[in-house]
Structure 1
Amino acid sequence: MRIVFVTSALSLTLAACGDGAATSEADATDETAASADVADTAEEPSDEQPAYGEGDATVAGTDYNATTIMPCGFDNAPPEQSCNAGVKRNWGEDGTHLVEVTKPDGRKRAIFFNGTTPYGADSAQADGSAGWEFKTTRDGDQVTISFGPETYVVVDALITGG
């Protein structure tokens, strides 16, 4: 009986070692495969983002190159409210830029820039903005845009990325 018990224990020990060795080899193979997958992924750059120093990335989940919160005002009030905004740099074929501002009511206003100089905004007969006057004043590195009863303050760094 004692020989059977020792033989059984020895068999179990060897079986456990065999399974462990097989598992270790399988784990090593899985780790090698996982490493290869990581290496393959690392070698393929993302189509959505340029490499460092090669272009302008976009903010995740948007088609904007940068987003910000900017001072804005409506109904001829000073720009004491906050509006979300995003910039699409080199938006136009001629290298112009587009800043889209989301107004408090959820509608958007597009402001067009040549370099850091704003030159117009989108307008429509439907909202009455087609006849609005577009004026700008500069103070250092920011420009205040008055478009009819709306006012926006845009810093140059939003446009230039600096």
Structure 2
Amino acid sequence: MKKRVMGNIAFAAVAGFLLAAPVTLAQDIRKETVHFKAGTSGTTIQGRIKGYESVSYLLGAKAGQVMHARLSTRHGATYFNIYGPGKGPGDEAIAVSDRSDPINTFEGVLPEDGNYTISVYMMRSAARRNEVSDYSLDISIGGKAAAAAAGNPGDATVAGADFNATGQLPCARHAGQPMGQCSFGVTRQGNGNGAITVFWPDGGSRVIFFEMNTPASFDKAQADGDAEMEVGSNADLYLVTIGNQRFEIPEAVMTGG
């Protein structure tokens, strides 16, 4: 079964998920554990790196919480990567800030409990010249899972993000690109209606609206041009195409079952 669906206008937050991070080749990795003051959910860190130095900031978080990170610097080649629990520089990152939009920012729903690492580093060309970078890193974590939802009975929401559930689903953003994994958050409004926000690995997001537990429309923007949405199905899996973008959405994401 396949059908074409036109898009609706909507707004979604910027975020990112699993992608290969650039190799920083840092020779001096300094590690610092981040603690928020009592009664707060964030902090601002002032730092400096020189040449191949990098700083790995470690902070604990729970699945379903929302992390915000923003790096401010006058140095044009200083960025950060974010790594999931048990990973660090040299591993696959969940965010690479030189590819984010806006640059050097991140907002995303965290997929699992554990200690996350934010690595601040300098690009190789600048590190080679032994340049110095002063920076300010703003970090906040909020949105604990809350009991009670307005959608299906038994749903929970992620406070601050209004998601009933979060997870990963297969996706591809560009033509010819192999399917990878994107994080998503779903909002169920009841009666089989709601919205799925898919977060692109290189920043930005796509919202797919569903009706009667079937993908029905999307957050069409000017950049989408005349793109239409095609929806196919294979058993309990929906195959969604929007221009060059592709998604595989299990029916359970919409039904909550």
State TM-score, norm by structure 2: 0.39
Unaligned runs of 5+ in 1: 1-47
Aligned to 2:169, the other structure's residue is in SS state strand
Partners of 2:173 and 2:157 lie apart in 1 by 29
In structure 1, the residue matched to 2:121 is: none
In structure 1, the residue matched to 2:73 is: none
Computed over aligned residues only, the root mean square deviation of the Cα atoms, in angstroms, reads 2.3
Q: Tell whether the 8 Å contact from 1:113 to 1:119 is kept in structure 2 after alignment.
A: yes
Mapping of 1:40-79 within 5 angstroms?
Answer: 48-50=146-148, 54-59=153-158, 62-77=161-176
How far 1:116 moved relative to its partner? 2.1
Q: Tell whether the 8 Å contact from 1:97 to 1:114 is kept in structure 2 after alignment.
A: yes
- CA-to-aligned-CA distance 1:1-49 (integer Å, 9 cap, x gap): xxxxxxxxxxxxxxxxxxxxxxxxxxxxxxxxxxxxxxxxxxxxxxx52
1:151 to 1:135, Cα distance in 2 relative to 1, 3 A: same
- Name whichever structure is richer in helix by fraction: 1
Runs of 4+ in 1 over 6 A off after TM superposition: none
Aligned to 2:170, the other structure's residue is in SS state strand
Partners of 1:64 and 1:79 lie apart in 2 by 27
In structure 2, the residue matched to 1:156 is: 251
- Name whichever structure is richer in strand by fraction: 2
In structure 2, the residue matched to 1:113 is: 210
1:54 to 1:135, Cα distance in 2 relative to 1, 3 A: closer
Aligned to 2:158, the other structure's residue is in SS state coil
1:79 to 1:90, Cα distance in 2 relative to 1, 3 A: farther
Partners of 1:119 and 1:78 lie apart in 2 by 24
Instruction: Give the letter aligned to residue 203 of structure 2.
Output: G
Instruction: Give the letter aligned to residue 86 of structure 1.
Output: G
1:153 to 1:50, Cα distance in 2 relative to 1, 3 A: same
Instruction: Give the letter aligned to residue 81 of structure 1.
Output: G
- CA-to-aligned-CA distance 1:97-151 (integer Å, 9 cap, x gap): 10000011220100010122111111111xx214102101100111010000100
Unaligned runs of 5+ in 2: 1-145
Q: Tell whether the 8 Å contact from 1:145 to 1:153 is kept in structure 2 after alignment.
A: yes
Partners of 1:129 and 1:67 lie apart in 2 by 25
In structure 2, the residue matched to 1:37 is: none
How far 1:50 moved relative to its partner? 2.5
In structure 1, the residue matched to 2:232 is: 137
**Count of aligned pairs between the two proteins:** 110
Percent of matched pairs sharing the same residue:
36
1:119 to 1:54, Cα distance in 2 relative to 1, 3 A: closer
Partners of 2:220 and 2:179 lie apart in 1 by 23
More contact order relative to length (CA 8 Å, sep ≥ 6):
2
State TM-score, norm by structure 1: 0.60
- CA-to-aligned-CA distance 1:41-81 (integer Å, 9 cap, x gap): xxxxxxx5229x95421136631101111100122236511
